[in-house]
A and B are shown apart, each in its own frame.
Chain A
Amino acid sequence: MKDKKPMTETFEQLLENNKEKIYRICKIYAVSPLEPQDLFQEVIFAIWKSISTFKGNSSIDTWIYRITLNVCLRSKQKSEKTYNKTLQLESIQFIPVEIPIENNHQEKYNALTSCISKLNNENKSIIILYLEELKYKKIAEITGLTENHIAVKIKRIKKILLDCITNKI
């Protein structure tokens, strides 16, 4: 019982430090009828359930990315039937924010996400982790592939993505 408070604090810190990047990934994987917000809640629930099993064998970042990608990939299997069973948490609120209109940036972002969405699941995960500025070693750790394999794949994905973005902008 005496560990309860530090655990809550750790969890709070963990969410505060990682919520933006988790949401960035959820936005890519959320496919109708599942919304990014629903997926985000599923990821947070998965993190909470497994935080006690985190042994520190990998960095906390690596662990968070792994859980996020696992939950997001699993969500693809969710059908309309199971959609109703997604978590509805009142303690997580998404407050709309007015964003300054920067057409160029928004256009680039839309093109990028649209092109990433066209990739297969494995390539999608790899390029997301690359865009998150993770080293090849960490990407290999998360995906379970070798560093060399990651390097080859990233080179190929970058070419596909660049062609796609160039056509869109």
Chain B
Amino acid sequence: MKNSEKKNIWQDIKNTWNEQPQSEKINIQVSQLINEFKSKVSQFEKDSIKSDIANLNIHWNKFKKSNKINQFEKDLIKKTNTQNNIGLFIGIGTSIGISLGIAFGSVFDNIGLGITLGISFGAGLGITLWLIIQNYK
């Protein structure tokens, strides 16, 4: 088939497509159409919100029933407890104090006195650190 023939055939096909028989006339009332669209959209939004709330309720009820606390919350509670625990600070301070006391006691040939002073110093250090952390919280 020659190129010109092909071209004619395709022009004919294009005409068939573009001049296709109109079996229906489309009549659009634009202002009424926009109102209809708006009402459909707002209904859609209402439905979405309703479904979101329903979903939230289901998940909240499940959460309450299972009484589950997530890992983040657990870590946070642990961290808070550690910071609040004055005993832990005194303990850590005392350990440091005893170590220092033994070291100084050995140097001055009086380990007993060194340990005693170390305990007092360590406990004081622990309390001081705890107070500082409380002020910064």
User: Which B residues are in CB contact (< 8 Å) with A83?
Assistant: none
User: Which A residues are in CB contact (< 8 Å) with B34?
Assistant: 8, 11, 48
Which residues of B1-33 have CB atoms within 8 Å of chain A's CB atoms?
9-10, 12-14, 16-33
Cβ contact within 8 Å between A112 and B17: yes
Q: How far is the CB of B29 from chain A (nearest CB, A)?
A: 4
Q: CB within 8 A of A109: which of B20, B32, B35?
A: B20
Q: CB within 8 A of A112: which of B13, B23, B24, B28?
A: B13
Q: Is the interface of B mostly helix, strand, loop or mixed?
A: helix
Interface residues on B, range: 20 to 34
> How many residues in A have their beta carbons less than 8 Å from beta carbons of B?
38
Which residues of A116-153 have CB atoms within 8 Å of chain B's CB atoms?
131-133
| Bound-state Cα–Cα, A24 to B24, Å | 11
Cβ contact within 8 Å between A158 and B30: no
Q: Which A-B residue pairs are the 3 nearest by beta carbons?
A: A91-B33, A91-B32, A131-B17
A-B CB contact pairs (8 Å), 16 listed: A44-B28, A48-B37, A87-B40, A89-B33, A89-B36, A90-B36, A92-B26, A92-B28, A96-B23, A97-B23, A105-B21, A109-B17, A112-B16, A131-B13, A158-B10, A165-B13
Residue ranges of A at the interface with B (Cβ–Cβ < 8 Å) = 8, 11-12, 15-16, 19-20, 23-24, 40, 44-45, 48-49, 87, 89-97, 99, 102, 105-106, 108-109, 112, 131-133, 158, 161-162, 165
